[in-house]
Structure 1
Amino acid sequence: MESRSAGRTYRRLSRMSARNETPHKVIQMLGQKTCNGSWEEASENLTMDQVKEIAEDQKDRLTGADLYARCREVMGTCVSMRVHVEGMTPKDALQAMSEGEFSEHFS
């Protein structure tokens, strides 16, 4: 759908529901309405099984080639949402994942 204003063409985009986006799935998994605040106050925590469940649910929307890569994407979303993964900050959890700490989840 397009409209013209002052000689310019604008495309009106219908509002898409964000209910299928990864941040919404994280919030649903936590049972929270919001997940913001400082890292010191952050009390939300996802388990690796919950991260895997979100990654499997979002596999058509995420760009990762396999479950491991999609889980890393979900954990990256947790960084901006200030949600811990397995009791660690997501950056620390990503580092631990790179070092093989969660390998039992991907074998």
Structure 2
Amino acid sequence: MERQQLPNSTLILIFGILSIIGCCCYGVLGIIFGIIALVMAKRATEIYNAEPELYTGYQNVKTGKILAIIGLVLSAISLISSIVMIIMYGGVEGIYELQEEMMREMQQNQ
């Protein structure tokens, strides 16, 4: 019997990569892609473990799962830091005011 590609193995890898890239978008996209990749990796692992001799592409699943975990951690850190910044400085306007104040102090010290 001919071996076939494990379903969604390439898509899991792509979602794992996107979860790392998505951490730059305040963490929200990274969390979404990471969770989707982990759920799909779990299903693909169950399929592969049932009959490993029928499928190829399990390496993509493992790599995608690792990337998804890394992306989730980075995205969670990014999301938490964004929330802390909003709480501490009152949103975007507060951050801009803080930057302007720092620039004025720097100009006065020169």
Q: With structure 2 as the length reference, what TM-score do the two structures score?
A: 0.29
> Which structure is higher in strand share?
1
User: Larger relative CO (CA 8 A, sep 6+): 1 or 2?
Assistant: 2
Question: For the pair shown, which has the larger CA radius of gyration, 1 or 2?
Answer: 2
> Which structure is higher in helix share?
2
Q: With structure 1 as the length reference, what TM-score do the two structures score?
A: 0.29
